[in-house]
């Protein structure tokens, strides 16, 4: 029994020794991280150039009283770190390394070690820093603060309805010659602005800037807050700047605007609008009224036709109005333009539009024209056609409305008391009519004057045109027919013309016609025909005889050769069949009016 008790006592003692030993075991590990040999636990650390080689050293030491195993070292930015072994005896240390390349700005990374000791895990961490940037001797920073886009350094600032969103922007600029580190922006009402939630970074190179933002909800009444920016140079020199901003919180309102547009005083919302003579001035007025319950600012009036509109003001209080104006010149036809008023209330746009119209009309220009002819001849000058005494005379009066308005009471009179008959007494613009009068030829030079009058509204217009004829006594004068001259070539020599002479050489206006290439003898045999070519042949057949009659010294013909040639050329040049036939009729009448004294 005693032996058993002794054995139990020994076993208990051994167990106690092991328990005490385990209780006394204190495993531990430590890591010290260096950047290019610097223990840069705080920023900025060593200053490097961009792209330089960076060597991080991680010195791991067993600081406990038991051996360590399964040792791993990692970097929060660079990943796994190479170490020469994974076991460290008590008080033993080793150096792990990692190589990289310097990047611009303030750099921070954290080295961590994890190890096992008797199924217990131990760990440690250590930070390091370096800096890549510009270093100078004149650090400086500038802050510009805005409220909803307004640089409202002084009250009241923008007007914002209570409950609306407010956005503050803080433009931070490095205006010195050195990179700025540890940039922080603090608002005295909102607190510090976080990176990157409110500010994109906490450092800036010289001549660069960044925009930080913060948001809130508008409250009633005047509001002021101040932003402050603080920073340090790489050498630790502090810099600071601040800026105020304001707004006025108001009760929400109902902004609205109204525009009423008029053309020359007419509120012509629908066409055709007022009639305005083409070329006359046009004045558009735009009455703009604030029909809401808040002040409107930034007011402008636009016209969809590009008309430049001038307004006396750019803001209106509730119920206030103003008249804007624009000018132009009336154009022909229907015209429409739309005026649009735009205004702003607390950055909310309101607008309204109103159309207007006018019709550009050509100014009334009444006018009338009369063209008088005697037996188809427009004989404005004497002597006109020769007509045998007692033969019928027909005067035609072609009356044309040459204006742009209708004419009424159209009346044609002849100063010789000839009764003139017209088919109508009214004419529309460009319309024409032919009036007629008749009589019998009297001996001698005759002239009469046709006059037309008409009215348009209260305006009277008129015109006149003369006409002439020469009345030859019946039986007076001598002439031979074209048949005589065709068959009596022996009578030609005294005239100075030969049967072989070319028609166009005598009557130059005949050149464009086929008949112009014939001889005078051939012309006496022309048969005539349709159209102006046929009329030219009829005319030349009988007027060639007239030319020979006028040129023969023994024939008492009432026309000279020059008069015959001029009259025939004029008829040919007219290109008008009726004119040619009228000239032929007149000259042939003279050929046949008297006896032929030859042979």
DSSP structure string for 547-593: HHHHH-TT---SS-HHHHHHHHHHHHHHT-HHHHHHHHHHHHHHHHH
Crossing angle of helices 561-574 and 531-551, in 10° steps, is 170
Tell me the three state secondary structure of residue 534.
Answer: helix
Tokens of 424: 């109508």
Burial of 527 (0-12, 13-18, 19+ CB in 10 A): exposed
Alpha helix positions (H), 166-300 = none
pTM for this structure?
0.39
Count of all residues that appear for the chain in the document: 599
Cis peptide before 466 (omega within 30 of 0): no
Distance of CA 560 to the CA centre of its chain: 71
Distance of CA 1 to the CA centre of its chain: 121
pLDDT tens, N- to C-terminus, the chain (599 residues) = 444 454 445 545 444 444 444 445 799 999 999 999 999 898 888 888 888 999 999 999 999 999 999 999 999 999 999 999 999 999 999 999 999 999 887 899 999 999 999 789 999 999 999 888 777 789 999 999 999 999 999 999 988 888 889 999 999 999 999 999 999 999 999 999 999 999 999 999 999 999 999 999 999 899 999 999 999 998 889 999 999 999 988 877 788 999 999 999 999 899 899 999 999 999 999 999 999 888 999 999 999 999 999 999 999 999 999 999 999 999 999 999 999 999 998 678 899 999 999 999 888 889 999 999 999 989 899 888 878 788 899 999 999 999 989 999 999 999 999 999 999 999 999 999 999 999 999 988 899 999 999 999 879 999 999 999 888 776 557 889 999 999 999 999 999 999 999 999 999 999 999 999 999 999 999 998 899 999 999 999 999 999 999 999 888 888 889 999 999 999 999 999 999 999 998 898 888 877 898 87
> Domains of the chain (ranges plus CATH)?
25-132 (2.60.40.10), 141-250 (2.60.40.10), 257-361 (2.60.40.10), 368-472 (2.60.40.1530), 482-593 (no CATH)
Q: Which residue has the tokens 């600012």?
A: 297
Q: Rounded to whole angstroms, how far apart are CA atoms 241 and 171? A: 11
CB 292 within 8 A of CB 311: no
CB 489 within 8 A of CB 495: no
DSSP structure string for 361-402: EPPP---EEEEEEETTB---SSS--EEETT-EEEEEEEEEE-
């Amino acid at each position: 029994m005693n032996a058993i008790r002794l054995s139990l006592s020994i076993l208990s003692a051994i167990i106690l020794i092991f328990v005490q030993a385990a209780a006394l075991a204190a495993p531990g590990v430590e890591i010290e991280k260096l950047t290019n040999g610097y223990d840069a636990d705080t920023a900025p650390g060593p200053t490097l150039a961009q792209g330089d080689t960076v060597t991080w050293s991680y010195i791991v030491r067993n600081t406990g009283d038991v051996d360590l195993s399964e040792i791993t070292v990692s970097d929060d930015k660079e990943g796994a770190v190479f170490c020469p072994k994974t076991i460290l005896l008590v008080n033993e240390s080793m150096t792990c390394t990692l190589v990289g390349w310097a990047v611009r700005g303030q750099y921070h990374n954290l080295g961590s070690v994890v190890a096992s000791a008797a199924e217990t895990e131990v760990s440690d961490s250590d930070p390091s820093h370096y800096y890549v940037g510009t270093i100078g001797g004149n650090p400086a920073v500038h802050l510009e603060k805005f409220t909803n886009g307004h640089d409202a350094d002084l009250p009241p600032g923008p007007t914002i309805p209570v409950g609306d969103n407010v956005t503050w922007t803080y433009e931070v600029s490095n205006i010195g010659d050195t990179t700025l580190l540890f940039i922080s922006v603090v608002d005295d009402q909102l607190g510090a602005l976080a990176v990157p939630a409110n500010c994109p970074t906490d450092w800036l190179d010289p001549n660069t800037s960044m925009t930080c933002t913060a948001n809130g909800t508008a409250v009633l009444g005047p509001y002021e807050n101040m932003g402050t920016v603080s920073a340090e140079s790489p050498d630790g020199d502090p810099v600071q700047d601040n800026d105020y901003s304001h707004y006025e919180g108001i009760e929400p309102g109902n902004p609205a605007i109204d525009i009423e547009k008029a053309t020359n005083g007419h509120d012509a919302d629908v066409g055709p609008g007022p009639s305005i003579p083409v070329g006359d001035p046009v004045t558009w007025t735009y009455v703009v009224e604030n029909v809401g319950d808040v002040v409107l600012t930034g007011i402008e009036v636009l016209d969809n036709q590009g008309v430049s509109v001038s307004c006396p003001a750019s803001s209106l209080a509730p119920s206030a109005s103003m008249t804007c104006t624009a000018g132009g010149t009336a154009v022909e036809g229907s015209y429409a333009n739309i005026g649009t008023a735009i205004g702003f209330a607390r950055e909310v746009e309101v607008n309204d539009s109103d159309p207007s119209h006018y019709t550009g009309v050509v100014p009334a220009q009444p006018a009338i024209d009369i063209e008088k002819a005697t037996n188809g001849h427009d004989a404005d000058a004497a002597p006109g056609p020769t007509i045998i005494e007692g033969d019928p005379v027909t005067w035609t009066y072609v009356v044309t409305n040459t204006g742009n308005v209708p004419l009424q009471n159209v009346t044609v009179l002849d100063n010789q008391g000839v009764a003139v008959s017209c088919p109508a007494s009214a004419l529309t613009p460009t319309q024409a009519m032919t009036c007629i009068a008749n009589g019998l030829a009297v001996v001698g030079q005759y002239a009469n004057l046709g006059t037309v009058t008409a009215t348009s509204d209260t305006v009277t217009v008129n015109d006149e045109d003369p006409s002439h004829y020469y009345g030859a006594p019946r039986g007076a004068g001598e002439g031979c027919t074209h048949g005589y001259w065709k068959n009596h070539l022996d009578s030609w020599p005294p005239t100075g013309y030969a049967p072989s002479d070319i028609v166009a050489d005598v009557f130059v206006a005949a050149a464009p016609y086929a008949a112009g290439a014939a001889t005078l003898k051939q012309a006496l045999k022309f048969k005539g025909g349709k159209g102006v070519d046929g009329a030219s042949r009829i005319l030349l057949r009988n007027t060639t005889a007239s030319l020979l009659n006028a040129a023969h010294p023994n024939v008492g013909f009432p026309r000279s050769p020059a008069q015959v040639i001029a009259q025939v050329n004029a008829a040919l040049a007219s290109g008008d069949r009726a004119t040619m036939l009228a000239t032929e009729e007149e000259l042939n009448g003279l050929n046949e009016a008297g006896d032929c004294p030859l042979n």
